[in-house]
Amino acid sequence: MRRWTAAVAMVLFAASVAAAEEWRAPAEAKATKNPVARATGLKDGKAAYDANCAVCHGSRGKGDGPGGAALNPKPKDLADKVIQGQSDGELFWKISEGRGVMPPWKHLPESVRWSLLHYMRSLASKK
Ligand code: HEC
């Protein structure tokens, strides 16, 4: 019974997070370190990004992919400091969970999701 209660509470929590304007990851998710080595991650991450994310976020992560044009809200510019300023763990959690029109990516192996983080870091604006 307690498990069910916890599951229901988690669903309600997820719904309330989705409704909130600011998208925040739980503290323990934020602190998680990327276990994938950078060299491997960059290569695997680019392949996964091109296959799954570029359609909305654009080939360079600018949020200008053809699939994102009609969405509200628009896909985020992944190179922006608003995104780059977040920890790997935080972004990993958001990519895994999704929100609204941003799909959840839990079906991708964890190592692929961490690899995406390495690739996303390489997209950071050099300003
Ligand atoms: C169907 C279009 C679509 C696809 C495909 C997609 N995204 Fe998104 N993404 C969005 C939208 C829309 C938002 C803004 C969601 C919001 O703010 O509620 C977003 C937001 C994000 C954010 C921002 C989180 C924040 O702090 O605001 C990250 C990071 C992200 N996406 C990464 C990815 C990655 C990595 C992939 C591929 C595995 C991906 N997205 C695939 C549409 C998409």
The CATH number covering residue 115 comes to 1.10.760.10
User: Is the distance from the beta carbon of residue 36 to the nearest atom of ligand 1 less than 6 Å?
Assistant: no
Task: Report H helices in the chain.
Answer: 2-19, 27-31, 38-52, 54-57, 81-84, 88-97, 110-122
pLDDT at residue 12, as a whole number: 56
Residue 4 lies in a domain: no
Measure the CA–CA gap between 96 and 112, rounded to whole angstroms.
11
Report the nearest atom of ligand 1 relative to the CA of 108. Answer: 38
- Residue 38 vs residues 4, 18, 91, 96, 118: alpha-carbon distances, Å: 39, 31, 16, 20, 6
Residue 108 lies in a domain: yes
Helix (H, G, I), strand (E, B) or coil at 102: strand
Residue 5 lies in a domain: no
Residue 100 lies in a domain: yes
Residue 15 lies in a domain: no
pLDDT band per the 50, 70, 90 thresholds, residue 21: confident
pLDDT band per the 50, 70, 90 thresholds, residue 125: confident
Residue 78 lies in a domain: yes
Domain that holds residue 72: 23-122
Cis upstream peptide for 73 (omega within 30°): yes
User: Is the distance from the beta carbon of residue 42 to the nearest atom of ligand 1 less than 6 Å?
Assistant: no
**The two structure tokens encoding residue 24:** 């925040």
Domain count, the chain: 1
Handedness of CA 93, 99, 104, 106 (dihedral sign): positive
Residue 17 lies in a domain: no
Residue 92 lies in a domain: yes
pTM of the predicted structure, to 2 decimals? 0.86
For residue 8, is pLDDT > 90?
no
